[in-house]
Amino acid sequence: MARNKEFIKEKALEGAMNTFWKKGYHDTSMQDLVDSMGINRASLYDTFGDKHHLYLQSLESYRDINQCTLRQLIENETISSEKIRKILTHLVTESLTDSENKGCFMTNATLEMLPHDEDVVNVVCDNLINMKSLLTEIIKEGQAKGEIQNPASPESLADFVQCNLGGLRILGKARPTTQQLFGIIDMVMMVLR
C-alpha cells in the first residue's frame, strides 16, 4: 500500500508543478492546486505543507528532472563540443515545441520570485551551480582533447554558455524564429572553437 501512496504523491506533485509552471506562484490558487493534483485540501496540506512548500517541492522536482534529462542526453556523446551543442539544441527545441508558451519553470521562478524569496533563491542558485559544474566538466574535457580551442578558463566559458542558456530560455517565450535561436547556438559554438 505504501508503494501506491508514493505513486499518488509523485503524480500529485507533477500536477502541482505543471500548474505553477503555467500560472506562476502568485496566480496559482489553492483550488487550482487541488484540481490539478487530484487530491483534497486536507491531503494537500498533510502531504505537502502549505502553498509555498509545495512550490519549492515542485521547483526542486523540476530541477532534478531537468538535470537528469541533460545528463542522459549527453551520456553517449564522446565529443565535448557536441555535448554542449546537444544541450543547447535540446533547450531550443523545447522552446519551439512549447505550444503553451510556458517557458522554463526555473527561469519563470527566477523572474517572478527573486530576489525576495530566499528559499527560491537557494533552489535557483543550486540549479545554477549544478549546471555550471556540468558545463565546466564538459569544457575541461574538450580543452584537454583539443576539441574546444578557446583558451579562456573552463569556468569562464561555462559562465558564458550558461548565460546564453538563460537568454535562450527567456527569448524562447517571446516566440522567436527557429533561425534566430539556432543562430545563437552557432555563435556560442564559434566562441568555443
Please compute the mean of the pLDDT values over residues 46-64 and round it to a whole number. 96
Question: In the numeric block, which cell numbers belong to residue 137?
Answer: 566538466
pLDDT of residue 176: 87
Structural domains counted in the chain: 1
Residue entry with cell 509555498: 52
Task: Give the DSSP per-residue string, 8-31.
Answer: HHHHHHHHHHHHHHHH-STT--HH
Structural domain of residue 169, as residue ranges?
2-192
Q: Which helix (H) or strand (E) holds 25?
A: none
Please compute the mean of the pLDDT values over residues 122-141 and round it to a whole number. 97
Q: pLDDT averaged over the chain?
A: 94
DSSP 144: H
CB 131 within 8 A of CB 165: yes
Residues 141-178: pLDDT tens digits?
999 999 999 999 999 999 999 999 999 999 998 888 99
Assign residue 89 the CATH number of its domain: 1.10.357.10
Q: pTM to 2 decimals?
A: 0.90
pLDDT of residue 177: 92
Please compute the mean of the pLDDT values over residues 60-79 and round it to a whole number. 96
Measure the CA–CA gap between 104 and 110, rounded to whole angstroms: 10
pLDDT of residue 175: 83
Measure the CA–CA gap between 18 and 34, rounded to whole angstroms: 12
